[in-house]
Amino acid sequence: MSQHESFANDQGEKYKVEQTAVEDYVEEDRASSIINEFGHGQGSFLTAYFNVVCVVAGTGTLGLPHAFAQGGWLGILILLLAYFMSVYSGIVLIRCLYYKPGQRLHDFKEIGVAAFSWPGYLVSSCLHILNLFGCPALYLVLAGGNMVTLLKGTAGELNHSYWVIIWGVFLLIPSLVLKTLREVTAIAAIGALCTMIAVFIVLIQSPMNRLADPQTSSVIWTGFPSSLATIAFSFGGNNTYPHVEHALKKPHQWKWAVFAGLTTCTCLYFLTAVPAYHSFGRFAVSPIYNSLPAGVGQTIAIIVMTIHVIFAIPIYTTSFSLEFEKFSRATDERLGKVGAWFARAVIRTATMVILCLLAIFVPYFDDFMGLIGALANCGLVFLLPVSCYLKLTGVRNKPWYELAFCALTLFLGIVGVIFGTKDAVISLRDDFQSGRSA
């Protein structure tokens, strides 16, 4: 081959490479324009992953050993099923947003409307609001109880009700100052770190303080619904997924982000539930650090989880208030800046007062968690996403194994809602009748 021909071939190869690069750039630019068609943000895969972990992994971790105490080692199977079902529901929930080509629905409530008209809106709205309202009330119960435990026998000792009021007043300040969620979501990462510290303490200290006869059981069928409700609470977070996905620069990464995030959460759950139930058996309580002996480990676990719930409460209360402010049209355009601020102040103050009253009069963390898990989270995690997905995208185009999995998910969701709610209500009734301390 002559030098001239060699040069020509080299130039030809160079041209092909450059042409391929240009085509790839054009294709990437076209894909980017499609991605941003619905106003997606600039979030990365890691951003979505940490959002899922921060939202899902939390106080539910503390109740899982008690869930095992209610259902026995069967809780391992329930936890695995809940994990696979929550990953599936998180993926199909986002598919529902894009069920109609060229359009994207905004949130859970719009999915409910598209699938089942006004009954879908009513059910999805009630479950959504119950989750946003019930979780901060539950967190106030935990924060008040933790302060009683931490300061018992000191000059700062107060009863549970006083601490709930103190925290309510303290948390009302950021709720009045900060208008939207944009300013408060950054603190969610601290909550995930606090949860991991508490998990590490339980993992280390539980085997060190194992009871001589923890009385573990393989299966406790009577406690199955309550165990399912508590585990469902631990996977709550579906009502925030549309907003997390919308913030992704590359929304096709969502399925991997939710898979990785929920896998991390499930690993944390196993690290807490298995050693704690093995050590304390049917005597495992919720929150689990109350089963640990008094000392440095228990104190650190209580402190970090108190920090977690105190940082999480403004996220929930602000979300709930924004929903109500949108419904009541308390906007700057309608009322002016000063008028809108006063309207928001009234709404958010009233919200905090109701939450405090609820936390004072229902100071039973474990059974309260079971009620919220059964009523709200079983519906939000197991029932609504799957039923809406089948309604919007059809049944005949699904393989039999996917339909079988959907049927099992719906069945467990119905069991959790009906029987879990029944058991939680009975347990709360017994709490009030016996006068059990918070």
Give the domains, in start order, of the chain with CATH numbers: 35-433 (1.20.1740.10)
pLDDT of residue 37: 58
d(CA 26, CA 9): 26
DSSP class of residue 248 equals B
pLDDT of residue 335: 76
Residue spans of alpha helices (H) in 104-250: 108-150, 160-177, 188-208, 224-234, 241-246
d(CA 64, CA 74): 12
pLDDT of residue 59: 67
Residues of the chain with pLDDT under 70: 1-43, 59, 178-189, 435-438
Cα angle for residues 141, 142, 144 (degrees, 5° grid): 65
Contact 279, 273 (CB under 8 A): no
Beta bridge partners of 100: none
Of 195, 303, 227, give the one whose Cα is nearest residue 70: 227
d(CA 416, CA 379): 9
Contact 363, 160 (CB under 8 A): yes
Left if phi > 0, otherwise alpha if psi is -120 to 50, otherwise beta: which for 34?
alpha
Residue 219, both tokens = 């299966």
DSSP class of residue 331 equals -
Report residue 363: phi and psi, to 5°.
-90, 35
pLDDT digits (tens, 9 = 90+) for 374-429: 888 888 888 999 999 999 998 888 899 999 999 999 998 898 888 888 888 888 88
d(CA 83, CA 69): 19
Of 146, 121, 2, 137, give the one whose Cα is nearest residue 62: 146
pLDDT of residue 34: 41
Cα angle for residues 188, 45, 23 (degrees, 5° grid): 155
pTM reported for the whole predicted model: 0.78
Burial group, residue 24, by CB count within 10 angstroms (0-12, 13-18, 19+):
exposed
Contact 190, 307 (CB under 8 A): yes
Residues ≥6 apart with Cβ < 8 Å to 270 = 76, 79
Residue 376, both tokens = 């709200």
Burial string for 339-370 (b: 16+ CB within 10 Å, else e) reads ebeebbeebbeebbeebbebbbebbbbbbbbb
d(CA 227, CA 233): 10
Evaluate the omega torsion of the peptide bond into residue 287 and state whether it is cis, within 30 degrees of 0.
yes
